[in-house]
Amino acid sequence: MIDTIKSEIKNHLNQEVKIIAKENRNRNEVFYGYIVEYYSHIFVVSNGIDHKSYSYNDILSKDISITFL
């Protein structure tokens, strides 16, 4: 399952994504950016100003949802 997620991220390198991250007390953070780097355990999304890193396990555990735009 993780390998499938990694290959999807790798296939969408330098493409725009929308990430919705679950936070405490039913709050969600929405982040738009581009997948700029990927590593064995994390990938990095940047919008030119901010850089955020997420793990593949975040997707698997549904702590974040990612939409490819």
Task: Map residue 14 onto helix, strand or coil.
Answer: coil
What pLDDT does residue 43 have?
Answer: 94
What pLDDT does residue 25 have?
Answer: 82
CATH architecture of 2-68: Roll (2.30)
1-60 pLDDT, tens digit each? 888 989 999 999 999 999 999 888 889 999 999 999 999 999 999 998 999 999 999 999
- Is the C-alpha dihedral spanning 43, 46, 52, 58 positive or negative? negative
Max Cα–Cα distance, the chain, nearest Å: 33
Could you tell me where the beta strands, DSSP code E, fall in the chain? 16-22, 28-38, 42-46, 51-55, 64-68
